[in-house]
Amino acid sequence: MQQARASFASDPAASRDRLHAEAPSATRTPFQRDRDRIIHATAFRRLMHKTQVFISPLADHVRTRLTHSLEVAQIARSMARDLGADEDLTEAIALSHDLGHPPFGHTGEEALQRKMQPFGGFDHNDQALRVLVKLEARYPRFPGLNLTWETLEGVVKHNGPVTGPEGGTTAALPATLAAVSREVDLRLATHAGIEAQIAAIADDIAYNHHDMDDGLRAGLFTIKDVNSVGHVGDAFTAVAVEFPQIERQVLISETVRRLIGAMVTDVLAETRRRLAAASVVTPEDVRLAAGPVVALSQGMRQKEQALKRFLFERMYRNAAVEKERRRGAEIVAALFDAFLAHPALLPDDWREGCTGLDTAARARLITDYTAGMTDRYAEAEHARIRQALPNNEPLQRVSGRPS
């Protein structure tokens, strides 16, 4: 049941508006409009073929960045409804939180971080902001999606303050983040609104349990193996006792559902406790609180960390997954090297954009192109440039390990 809007919720009627002035929608709030623009974005559709854990998965049921984003949005929206936060803003932030991820998951990001180190670096959160304010080309009057201040703030700060005591950063900010914050002041030293905090913790809840689900489906480990994580084993046992004849896949699905439900219940209780303890009344109170107001209890956090440790050891560092990770890193590094040395290999529109750029600006453009690729498109481009470079010259790295 929908709760009344809480006093600390972001109010669409009081939105700080957009980078570029627009007439309001006659039928949607500003936050509803943001959510809809994200769903229609090209970058959002590309998430369908971007890695969550498994590289270029052929199995129909393995999660991708798109299905993960939808699952995060569902969990986040339900928590926002219960707490009286703005559901549409929560959903917009949840749906857009992975838009900056390059192909091949975190291994692709690590490859681009290495390659871009001399040219200002690479960060997937900053890249998501670049997608939202610059790279999406859908409207004749402005670049990007022209989202509200609250959505941009949520995407940038959903994991906490970027600068200041908790953000702790003293290095130069990524270029896009610095430029946008100079223009509209994203208040990088404060926490984000409650909707962004809800989206962030929904991300944690979703990927832990759904990665476990995918790992079991893929045979990377067994139910007996994961039962070594105490609370997970208890949940599997409870379902098996209640339904003695249950099929394996239904057993997994029901157990994952219960584990997610237990975490959501814990977050809601802990968040209400923190809101009361900090005397939070307004959205500003949320931003200026001493710590995040949306959180797991200490006991549940320990359980979450136990599951993360299991997944790290048995899934993320599994030999088969590691082999695919290395291959993905090699492809991303090779693409970057080839395009930087030979801009003529870029597609026409990207090649034209390179005209007159210095090396750093050209590297950033190449990163924008590469980061936007799906896994399968990156593999196709890798094959194309190997054919285009005679005798693989001058980049032996195209078919070797990343430098």
Residue 121 has pLDDT above 50, yes or no: yes
Read off the pLDDT of each residue in 257-272 and give the average, rounded to a whole number: 98
158 close to 196: Cβ distance less than 8 angstroms: yes
Whole-model pTM? Answer: 0.92
* Rg (the chain; Cα; Å): 22
Percentage of residues in the chain having pLDDT higher than 90? 80
- DSSP-derived secondary structure letter, 133: I
User: How many angstroms separate the CA atoms of 186 and 284, rounded?
Assistant: 13
- Asked if 73 and 80 touch (Cβ cutoff 8 Å), the reply is no
Distance CA 82, CA 307 (A): 26
- Position 360, amino acid: A
Q: What is the rounded average pLDDT of the residues 353-364?
A: 94
pLDDT above 90 (res 158): no
Q: Taking Cα atoms as reference points, which of 173, 91, 166, 171 lies closest to residue 129?
A: 173
In sequence order, what are the residues at sequence separation of 6 or more whose Cβ sits closer than 8 angstroms to the Cβ of residue 64?
47, 48, 49, 50, 51, 52, 57
What is the C-alpha separation between 134 and 177, in angstroms, rounded? 12
Place of tokens 């399968």: 376
CB 132 within 8 A of CB 176: no
Q: How far apart are CA 381 and CA 362, in angstroms?
A: 18
Give the model confidence (pLDDT) of 325-338 as tens digits: 889 999 999 999 99
Beta-bridge partner residues of 148: 18
Write down all domains in the chain, each with its CATH number in brackets.
27-184 (1.10.3210.10), 198-319 (no CATH), 322-399 (no CATH)
